[in-house]
Amino acid sequence: MTGYIVLNYWDLALASVLVLVDAALSIIFGLRIHRGLLVAAVRMTVQLMLVGLVLTALFSVVSPLLTGLTVLGMILFAGQEVILRQERRLSGWWSYGLGTGCMMMSSILVTTFALLTALRPNPWYDPRYAIPLLGMILGNCMTGIALGLNTLTTTLVTRRAGVEAQLMLGASRWDAVAPVTRDALRSALMPTINSMAATGLVSLPGMMTGQILGGVPPVEAVKYQILVMFLIAGGTGFGAVAAVLGGIYRLTDGRHRLRLDRLIGPRRV
Amino acid sequence: MLHIRDLRTSILEPASLALSAGECIAVRGPSGAGKTLLLRAIADLDPNQGFVTLDGRDRSTIPGPEWRRLVGYVPAEPGWWAETVGEHFRDWAAARACLKELGFSEETKSWPVSRMSTGERLRFALVRALTVRPRVLLLDEPTAALDAGAVAAVEALIASRVRGGLAVLWVTHDEPQTRRIACRQLVVEKGRVREADQ
């Protein structure tokens, strides 16, 4: 990895002028988003600076404990994010537990799979590989699970009469919610499928672009990107299936009733 | 045949009643009194407590789906889950005769659900429930949106099934209808179920 151009802080300051232009436009047109925009830009800058420091420290010590704690922290934050994207939430611990549990299961499984098979760093938990890989899988998995659960709960509410009609005719809970399950899983996986289909033609993924900017030959960067895309598809698929099935399990009961009383909401997202 | 003892939910007061084969009981009471909740509790669609048996078999020993095939329920606003009418019938051949009795032709099978009127939806839902061949049928105002001719056809269809041994619990606001269809009456008021004075 030779010959990448090092940025200094003046370069960033210059680019940040673009955000200030956005804010100015918001003020001129009375859009009232300049405040949120500036706060988000500042948050982004501070968070990434901190992450840079944390990763530098983490990479220098290569400790399984610290790497594990970082992974745990990322997953717990992602769990919070899943909740924020729900119009209706499951009651009690299920709300946080289901999304977080499924993300933890699938993202750790898929990341470990990649570390032990394709990448094989030494040691296998080397944070320089484990953390960025998990971050990419987790981010997509989070979007998939949030979309899947949101579709599941809102659709069950709107299609309640249809689902109960099937239950009344003697369908099992899994059969009665099958059309809703399909919709939920489809909406969970659609972003992943779309991004795989459009990658290379419409968009150049950030990771691949980053590697190319860092001096990696494009063909090698592309191989990494393909690997990551497969991992994302796998992780999102496992996570979304587990979360949607878990959600159905919670929103029905052993007597094959629909239990929408276990939902809280609605709430504007 | 159907025995209910102390059936209750968070809203419904403990209710007890017995329904014999070939018997039709009318259920009356003001709107919001809990008539629908009573039917839903018997069909086991909402969490409820109490003791319910069918032919001596305890409901809690029968899986939910099997129970609802034995004790059918047609709500006041039936639900639909597919595009066309025919997709909602597991056995269209069995439904055909019933639909004919209610004046519907074969071509209704391909009707889009969105095209059906409220009264048509009620009648199709009734036939849909009958094709499962339940022992008990819980009806929530099945003729509320029908003209006189259609009401008579529905009453005749159910009466013929009752003669064949079907037990029916029929929610209605229509006093003359109560006298036509039922020999006993239940009154539901403020979540309390009682037998009406004859």
pLDDT digits (tens, 9 = 90+) for A125-170: 999 999 999 999 999 999 999 999 999 999 999 999 999 999 999 9
**ipTM > 0.90 (yes/no):** yes
Q: How far is CA B105 from the centre of its chain?
A: 23
In terms of Cα–Cα distance, which of A239, A258, A262 is closest to A105?
Answer: A239
The CB density around residue B181, as the number of other CB atoms within 10 Å, is 21
Q: Do A161 and B80 touch (CB under 8 A)?
A: yes
User: What is the tens place of the pLDDT at every residue in A165-198?
Assistant: 999 999 999 999 999 999 999 999 999 999 888 8
- Measured in degrees and rounded to the nearest 5, phi and psi for residue A16 equal -65, -15
User: What is the tens place of the pLDDT at every residue in A197-230?
Assistant: 888 888 788 889 999 998 999 999 999 999 999 9
Q: How far is CA B149 from the centre of its chain?
A: 20
Q: What are A's interface residues with B at a Cβ cutoff of 8 A?
A: 159-173, 179, 253-259, 261
Q: Do A169 and B90 touch (CB under 8 A)?
A: yes
Q: Do A167 and B81 touch (CB under 8 A)?
A: no
Residue A268 is predicted with a pLDDT of 55
Kindly tell me if the per-residue pLDDT of A66 is higher than 70: yes
Residue A254 is predicted with a pLDDT of 93
Q: Do A168 and B63 touch (CB under 8 A)?
A: no
Helix (H, G, I), strand (E, B) or coil at B140: strand
Which residues are CB-contacts of B141 (< 8 A; sequence separation ≥ 6)?
B76, B171, B172, B173
d(CA A121, CA A224): 14
Which residues are CB-contacts of A249 (< 8 A; sequence separation ≥ 6)?
none
List the beta bridge partners of residue B171.
B27, B140
Residue B93 is predicted with a pLDDT of 87
d(CA A16, CA B66): 65
For B45, the closest of A159, A164, A254 (CB atoms) is: A164
Task: Report the share of chain A in percent with pLDDT over 70.
Answer: 98
Kindly tell me if the per-residue pLDDT of A235 is higher than 50: yes
d(CA A4, CA A128): 18
Kindly tell me if the per-residue pLDDT of A3 is higher than 80: no
Kindly tell me if the per-residue pLDDT of A269 is higher than 80: no
Residue B198 is predicted with a pLDDT of 58
Kindly tell me if the per-residue pLDDT of A40 is higher than 90: yes
d(CA B23, CA B163): 8
Residue B145 is predicted with a pLDDT of 82
In which element (H, E) is residue A172 found? none
Q: Which residues of B touch A261 (CB under 8 A)?
A: 47
Q: How far is CA A116 from the centre of its chain?
A: 22
Residue A5 is predicted with a pLDDT of 87
Q: Do B68 and A162 touch (CB under 8 A)?
A: no
State both tokens at A38: 């500036």
Residue A1 banded pLDDT, cuts 50, 70, 90 = very low
Kindly tell me if the per-residue pLDDT of A2 is higher than 60: no
Which residues are CB-contacts of B92 (< 8 A; sequence separation ≥ 6)?
B86, B109
Could you tell me how many residues make up chain A? 269
User: What is the tens place of the pLDDT at every residue in A105-135?
Assistant: 999 999 999 999 999 998 999 999 999 999 9
B129 touches chain A (CB under 8 A): yes
Selected for mutation to probe chain A from B81, B130, B133 (highest A CB count within 10 Å) is: B81
Q: Which residues of B touch A258 (CB under 8 A)?
A: 45
Over its length of 198 residues, how does chain B's per-residue pLDDT go in tens digits? 899 999 999 888 998 999 999 999 999 988 888 899 999 999 999 999 999 999 999 999 999 999 999 999 999 999 999 999 999 998 888 888 889 889 888 889 899 999 999 999 999 999 999 999 999 999 999 998 889 999 999 999 999 999 999 999 999 988 889 889 888 899 998 888 888 875
